[in-house]
Structure 1
Amino acid sequence: MNYVFVALLVCFSLGSVQAQDSTAVKKTAVTDTVPAKANDADALLAGLTDSTATPSLLPRKMIFTQRAFWGPKGLLRTMNVAPLTPEGRAKELKIRRTMLITHQIGGFVTLAGFVAQGLLGAKLYNAKGQEYTDTKVWHERSATFINVAYGTTLALSLTTPPPVVGAKRGFTSIKLHKYLAIVHLTGMIATNVLAHMIDTHPDLKPVHRAVAYGTFGAYAASIISLTF
C-alpha cells in the first residue's frame, strides 16, 4: 500500500507550476452586443458569458492538476459538470473555500500524527525484544495513518478550484507554504522508501530518522507560515 502511496505522491508532485469591445455606434449599426454604458448587472453578465470573455473567469496560471479538472478544457468542463460561467465560478469559489478549510484541518491532523510517529520512532530506535516488536506494529500503523492523512490533505490542495486571479507578485506566506510543501513532499517520499529498506539495510536507520525529522520540520514550518 505504501508503494502505491509513494507513486501517487510522485504523480502529484510533477508539475508543483478580450472580450470583444462592442462599443456604442451610430443608430444605423446592425449589431451591437454590449451597450456603451452597461450600468446594470444583466449587461455585465451578458458580457462575461460571451464565449470570447470566458478566459477572464480563470487566472492565467494554474497548477497542472487544477487545469486538468477546472481549466477551460478541463475534465469537469468537457463533462458539463462545471460549466465555465460567472454563476458557476461563484459556486466554485465557495467550493474552493470549503476545500481549503478542510485542507488546513487535515494539515493539523497530519501534524499530530507526525508528533506521535516521532515519539514512537524514538522509542523504536532503542527498543529490543518484545518491546521492539510491539512498538514497530504501532509505528507502522501510525505511518499508514500519516500517509492517508497527508495524501488526502495534498489532494485537497492540488484539486481545489482555481482562485479568481493569479498569485501576487513578490514573496508571500502562500509562496513560502508552497516551497516548503516541495521539501516535505520530497521528505515523505524518501521516508517511505527508506522505511522499506531498513529491514534489509539496518545501517539506514540514522538516515531514515534524519529524513523523518527534517520532513516534520518542513511540514510544521509550512503550517506555521499560514497560521501566523
Structure 2
Amino acid sequence: MKYILLLTLLWAGIGSVRAQDSTAVKTSAATDTVPAKNNEADALLAGLTDSTESQPLLPRKMIFTQRAFWGPKGLLRVMNVAPLTAEGRARELKIRRTMLVTHQIGGFVTLAGFIAQGLLGAKLYNARGQEYVDTKIWHQRSATFINIAYGTTLALSLTSPPPVVGAKPGFTSIKLHKYLAIVHLTGMIATNVLAHMIDQHPDLKPVHRAVAYGTFGAYAASVISLTF
C-alpha cells in the first residue's frame, strides 16, 4: 500500500513538472514571437524609407535649357531660388503643368497666326500696286505677331521644370512633337531669313513660300500630335 501511495505521488509530481515546463515553453515562444514580428515590421519600414530617400528627384536626361535652369547645378539651384528638395520638386511640377498648359494654348494661337499669314502671303504673291503695299504691311505685322507668339510658346516648353521621370521608352506622341519641333524651328529661321532677302532677290519668293508652307505643315502636325 505504501509503495502504491509513493508511486501515485511520484506520478503526480512528474505531471506537475511537465505542465510547468510546457507553460514555460509556451510563454518563451510567445515572448520570442512578438520581438520577431516587431523586427520584421521595423525592417519593412526601414526598407520603404530607404527606397523613398533613394528615389532621384530629377530625371537623368534633360534638355540643355532645363539643365541650365533646373539641373542639380542649374542657375536657379545655385541662386537658391529653387532648392532641390522633395517639397520644392512638388511645387516645380505644379509650375511645369501651368507652363505646359500655357504652351499648348500658345500653340493654337500661333497656329491661327500661321493660317492668317498664309492667306496674306497668298494674296501678296499676286497683288499689285497699292494693294501690294497694304497687304505687305499686314503681312509684316502678322509675321511679327507670329514670331512673338512662337518664341513665347517655345520658351515655355524649353524652360519648364523637368518631369519626375525621364521619357517613356518607344515612340510616343511627345517624341513626335519634339521631332516636329526641330523641323518647324528650322523652318521658322529659314522663313525669316528668306523674308529679309526677297526685296533684293525677288527670285527667292517661290523658295520662301515653299519653306513657309512646310513650316506651317510641321507646326500644325506638332500641335495635333499633342491634341489627339
Deviations 1:143-180 (A, max 9, x none): 00000000000000000000000001100000000000
Where 1:38 maps in the other structure, the secondary structure is helix
1:99, 1:40 → 2: CA distance?
36
- Return the TM-score normalized by structure 1: 0.79
1:150, 1:100 → 2: CA distance?
14
1:203 maps onto 2:211 in alignment: no
Equivalent residue in structure 2 for 1:37, among 35, 44, 47: 44
Partner of 2:83: 83
- Return the TM-score normalized by structure 2: 0.79
1:115 maps onto 2:122 in alignment: no
1:70 maps onto 2:77 in alignment: no
Where 1:37 maps in the other structure, the secondary structure is helix
Report the AA paired with residue 198 of structure 1.
Answer: I
Residue 40 of structure 1, CA deviation: 11
Partner of 1:221: 221
Partner of 1:133: 133
Report the AA paired with residue 98 of structure 1.
Answer: T
Partner of 1:194: 194
1:38, 1:142 → 2: CA distance?
61
1:38, 1:196 → 2: CA distance?
66
Number of residues paired by the alignment? 187
1:153, 1:39 → 2: CA distance?
45
1:160, 1:38 → 2: CA distance?
35
Partner of 1:185: 185
Where 1:99 maps in the other structure, the secondary structure is helix
Deviations 1:181-208 (A, max 9, x none): 0000000000000000000000000000
2:65, 2:56 → 1: CA distance?
19
Unaligned runs of 5+ in 2: 1-41
1:165, 1:150 → 2: CA distance?
27
Deviations 1:113-153 (A, max 9, x none): 00000000000000010000000000000000000000000
Unaligned runs of 5+ in 1: 1-34
Partner of 1:166: 166
Identity of aligned residues (%): 85
Report the AA paired with residue 68 of structure 1.
Answer: A
Report the AA paired with residue 173 of structure 2.
Answer: S
Report the AA paired with residue 196 of structure 1.
Answer: H
1:147, 1:44 → 2: CA distance?
49
Residue 221 of structure 1, CA deviation: 0.3
Report the AA paired with residue 44 of structure 2.
Answer: K
Report the AA paired with residue 173 of structure 1.
Answer: S
Residue 39 of structure 1, CA deviation: 7.0
Residue 38 of structure 1, CA deviation: 2.7
* Bigger Rg, which one: 2
Residue 36 of structure 1, CA deviation: 3.5
Where 2:163 maps in the other structure, the secondary structure is coil
1:110, 1:168 → 2: CA distance?
28
Residue 44 of structure 1, CA deviation: 6.9
1:145, 1:185 → 2: CA distance?
16
Higher helix share: 2
1:131, 1:94 → 2: CA distance?
49
1:108, 1:39 → 2: CA distance?
49
Report the AA paired with residue 128 of structure 1.
Answer: R
